[in-house]
Amino acid sequence: MANIVEEIKKPIKEEMKLFEQKFYESMQSNVPLLDKVTRFIVTTKGKQMRPMFVFLCAKLLGEVNEKSFRGASMIELIHTATLVHDDVVDESFKRRNFFSINALWKNKIAVLVGDYLLSKAVLLSTDNKDFDLLAVISTTIREMSEGELLQLEKARKLDITENVYFEIIRQKTATLIAACCEIGVLSNNADENTARKMREFGTLTGMAFQIKDDLFDFLTSNIIGKPVGIDIKEKKMTLPLIYSLKMANEKDRKYYFNTIKRYNNDTKRVKELIQFVKTSGGLDYAIGVMKDYQEKAKLLLADFPDSEAKHSLHLMLDYVIERKN
């Protein structure tokens, strides 16, 4: 899998190196504590898939330019802010095998750091009069907040249908990847039709990405390095689970629904539920939906001329559904 990531990065290798410095500069502050936290954020960064989407989409229409770099920094600032806030909401003390900001500096500072990063994303666009990019990120921040709140509201009642699930993951996850792709082409003056097409490409890719994440909950933990059944313990209704419960007979549905509601910390009951999802076709159904999103996304690339960037976006779509973590 590491090889495929390097292959994806080939057309944007230099841009990704330069981005690291530009991203750090976009976070800098005169407040020593903020500077200390932002240095920590840079040293504990993840794969940086989202900037990769921005640069590859920019290269579909031309070259990566200063506006592309600003757009990628805005996206990464928003993404980082939401991760910092999520760790506070989820009371999580680990992020990518490092301590989270709230674990090291407590909740109050973590919330304020997240707010600061969001403000920097907005200022980056207004200071440079990138009002088209500002419109994209403003919608994205709103949708991500709505998605989180919708999930929290539904988690209380566990009444999530497939349609509600798709709306939650579209807003929570897919909208940010959609923004990456739209911003990428807008940085090279894309027309309205092209911008809309690439937003749809990002949405479809993000949907596939989140379904893959949800599938990890039912796979053996030693492959992916996270505990199995963690979503069930947190009462998160994911696609494999929703489908399996919908297809179950009344007796099984009541029993397994009760497992999620009252016995979500009972290891034996959670294992039973995971096995039920596997044998009732929940995993196969979710994999089918995920691959359908992938194929629809690939079709949207067909109109663009062949290039290294287009090839890398195809590879990215394969990586999204084949990755191990």
Token pair for 32: 């020593």
pLDDT at 223 over 50: no
Length of the chain: 325
For residue 110, count other CB atoms closer than 10 A to its CB. 20
Task: Return the percent helix, strand and coil in the chain, to nearest 5.
Answer: 80, 0, 20
In the predicted model, is pLDDT for residue 106 greater than 70? no
Q: How far apart are CA 316 and CA 97, in angstroms?
A: 24
3-state secondary structure of 93: coil
Based on the number of CB atoms within 10 Å of its own CB, is 239 exposed (0-12), middle (13-18) or buried (19 or more)?
buried
Residue 157 sits in a domain whose CATH number is 1.10.600.10
What are the pLDDT digits (tens) for 5-18? Answer: 889 999 999 999 89
For 244-254, write each residue's pLDDT tens digit.
999 989 999 89
Query: Per residue in 112-159, pLDDT tens?
Result: 877 888 888 899 899 999 999 999 999 999 999 899 888 877 776 777
pLDDT digits (tens, 9 = 90+) for 186-212: 999 999 999 999 999 999 999 999 999
Instruction: State which residues form the domain around 216.
Output: 2-322
Residue 162 has pLDDT above 50, yes or no: yes
Number of folded domains that form the chain: 1
Cα–Cα distance, 151 to 135 (Å, whole number)? 25
Average pLDDT taken over every residue of the chain: 85
Strand partners for 117: none
